[in-house]
């Protein structure tokens, strides 16, 4: 779900990322997708 949102460029509606072992990785993925 998160990877699909990043691929679509929908960075606002990620949903709950607190269940990830390291939620900060989402920011790294977003930064790498640009």
CB 8 within 8 A of CB 33: no
Span 13-33, pLDDT tens digits: 888 998 999 999 999 999 986
Confidence (pLDDT) at 32: 85
- Give residue 8's pLDDT band: very low, low, confident or very high (50, 70, 90): very high
Work out the number of other CB atoms within 10 angstroms of the CB of residue 4. 8
C-alpha dihedral, 9 to 14 to 19 to 21, nearest 10°? 20
- What's residue 10's pLDDT? 92
């Amino acid at each position: 779900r998160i990877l699909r949102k990043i691929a679509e460029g929908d960075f606002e509606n990620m949903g709950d990322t607190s269940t990830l072992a390291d939620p900060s990785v989402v920011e790294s993925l977003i930064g790498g997708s640009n």
